[in-house]
Structure 1
Amino acid sequence: MQKIALIVDSACDLSLETLNERNIKLLPLRISYSDKEYKDKIDISADEIYNNLEKEVPKTSLPSAEIMEEILMSLEDEGYTHVIAITISSGLSGTFNSIRLALEDHPKLTSYVFDTKILAMPEGIMALEVSDLINSGKSFEEIVSAIPKIRKSISGYFTINTLEYLKKGGRIGKISGTIGEMLNLKPVVSVDDDGVYYTVCKARGRKQSILKLTNILKDELSLGPCKVWVLQGGALEEAKKFMESIKDLKNIVSLNMSQISPALGVHGGPGLLGLAIQKVY
């Protein structure tokens, strides 16, 4: 009989409570300051990151090999036979490859590692869907075959208040970042088919960028019913207002809010506002 475990990295934006309730194993990314290293989501919160950004912008890195090994060993000890891992885009992090390589040293575990080519709550939605399939008694093979279709139903978009932190983290070029700030440009960003950031559109000023997000959502909703999550990083009050402005749009099946994980907050900086959208077939 199959006993299937689900692993997800901390870029998924799911709360510790949700992960514990669903028995999803968490691989925390690492956040390193000059004097100390933290386990993302476990040892440090997003608000703590934002409150300290003016003093120091920390570095982020892959989950530690030790924690990865601990999780896999414990799964074997607990009698798991199969493992599904859902990861942040390989175009943005080496986590996918690290988990894949670690699992090669555990031949007792039949495994499937899925590169979501996305991040934040859209990655979290993938994990929730897989968790539902596991809990409903679907086989490993059935779940693995369903995962690519689930991914096609999910999209994510975000806008940020400043390009400073994407620039510092090397996510955009310094010259383009500086020009963008001079012109008060607020890009709306998503990820492409390779799982790499790209600019969907640009807006002049914050109000216009939020309007662009709203129009993107309306376009998605015009195609059919969707579940919607408002994403926020250091922008709680704006996120509440944004939720209020879209809550009555036709075809929204459910509407929730999600906080960006600490590791992702390092690169986005305070003022991140976004959407995760899941089409309901």
Structure 2
Amino acid sequence: MNRQKIAILTDSCADVPAHMAKTEPIFIVPLKITYSEGSYSDGVDITARQVYQRLPAEIPKTSLPDGATITQALQQIKDEGYEKVLAIIFSSGLSGTYQMVELIGEEFPGLQVAAFDTKSGSLGTGATVLQAAEYLRQGKTWEELLSLIPRLIKNTTVFFSVDTLEYLQKGGRIGRITWVAGTMLNIKPILTFAPSGELTSIAKVRGRKASIERLCDLVYEKYTPGSRVNIMTAHGDAPQDGELVKKVLLSRIPAFVHHYESEIDCTLGVYVGPHLLGAGIQILEEDM
């Protein structure tokens, strides 16, 4: 435990690798994945890969953690001797998880909880969580952390390449004509998080190879040579393409503080479909 007794709380949409969560003071509350036969806890009794593999047969519903799950996580944090909590949570533009955590945290006895809406998800939220853990190892004070986390969120940008338009059409996010035409032209939209925290299309390219190049171009455009950055790559049940994204991006930005990689959570997968690719950058300015 760090001397200031500070823990980090996040949700399963952060895609924090399990081995890293076990070695850091990171606690994860799972979102709910509901099928016709019952509900599962994301990352607990169902994996992202299992959800991706079941998508052709059934698109599940996703929902935020219930209050009891959040309360249980906070109680565990308190029982383990922590006194303060940095709650770094999935975008409020796509989920009510942040509002729920903030509300319960304000009333939870014996813990000081500071909740942050990352306005991001997947590798964007995860990188913020892991950099916060790095700050804890460096001995940053609670007051410093309360100032640093919003700056991290502001300086974190992620992009996702969608492999198929089918699930956007099934979810009512694009029309049938757009779906048919886009599929015939092999269109691959690239999404990012808008300032509101909602996903928005930023580019459209034809073909998987071109989408990977454009994905990495968009990240590189955010990079200033010589700056201190974290780089993020991820995939949704597409490991070979995920490795290609990693190879291309790291060849363009060879100097970085950390490279975080993970599998994209099934919450985003349900929204846009399988074989999603992600890449992002986090600019570190704490010593500027």
Structure 2 length normalisation: TM-score? 0.89
Q: 1:177 to 1:197 in 2, by over 3 A?
A: farther
Partner of residue 199 from structure 1, selected from 198, 201, 205:
201
CA contact (8 A) 1:224 1:251 kept: no
Partner of residue 155 from structure 2, selected from 153, 156, 167:
153
Q: 1:74 to 1:238 in 2, by over 3 A?
A: closer
Partner of residue 272 from structure 1, selected from 260, 270, 276:
276
Unaligned runs of 5+ in 1: none
Partner of 1:31: 33
Establish whether residue 259 from structure 1 lines up as the match of residue 266 from structure 2.
Answer: no
CA drift of 1:205 comes to 2.4
> Is 216-225 or 18-27 further displaced after alignment?
216-225
Establish whether residue 238 from structure 1 lines up as the match of residue 241 from structure 2.
Answer: yes
Alignment of 1:74-85 (within 5 A): 74-85=76-87
Please give the per-residue CA displacement for 1:213-251, whole angstroms capped at 9, x wherever unaligned. 132133233554433222111211112223233432244
Q: Tell me the distance in 1 between the aligned counterparts of 2:114 and 2:72.
A: 18
Establish whether residue 249 from structure 1 lines up as the match of residue 252 from structure 2.
Answer: yes
CA contact (8 A) 1:231 1:260 kept: yes
CA drift of 1:280 comes to 4.2
Aligned to 1:247, what secondary structure does the other structure show? helix
CA drift of 1:107 comes to 3.9
How many corresponding residue pairs?
A: 280
The aligned amino acid for 1:232 is H
CA contact (8 A) 2:152 2:284 kept: no
Please give the per-residue CA displacement for 1:162-217, whole angstroms capped at 9, x wherever unaligned. 122233345x2335545533443211110111111111111122222222113213
Establish whether residue 11 from structure 1 lines up as the match of residue 13 from structure 2.
Answer: yes
The aligned amino acid for 2:116 is F
Aligned to 1:32, what secondary structure does the other structure show? strand
CA drift of 1:20 comes to 1.3
CA contact (8 A) 1:228 1:252 kept: no
Unaligned runs of 5+ in 2: none
CA drift of 1:85 comes to 0.3
Please give the per-residue CA displacement for 1:232-277, whole angstroms capped at 9, x wherever unaligned. 1121111222323343224442545321123322223222112021
Q: Tell me the distance in 2 between the aligned counterparts of 1:167 and 1:126.
A: 31
Q: Tell me the distance in 2 between the aligned counterparts of 1:139 and 1:256.
A: 24
Q: Tell me the distance in 2 between the aligned counterparts of 1:256 and 1:102.
A: 30
CA contact (8 A) 2:219 2:280 kept: no
CA drift of 1:41 comes to 1.0
Partner of 1:55: 57
The aligned amino acid for 1:76 is K
CA RMSD, Structure 1 to Structure 2 (Å): 2.1
Q: 1:133 to 1:242 in 2, by over 3 A?
A: closer
Partner of 1:229: 232
Q: Tell me the distance in 2 between the aligned counterparts of 1:249 and 1:76.
A: 43
Alignment of 1:57-96 (within 5 A): 57-96=59-98
Please give the per-residue CA displacement for 1:22-68, whole angstroms capped at 9, x wherever unaligned. 12111101111111211101111122112111111111100122211
Structure 1 length normalisation: TM-score? 0.91
Aligned to 2:158, what secondary structure does the other structure show? strand
Q: Tell me the distance in 2 between the aligned counterparts of 1:194 and 1:223.
A: 29
Q: Tell me the distance in 2 between the aligned counterparts of 1:75 and 1:173.
A: 42
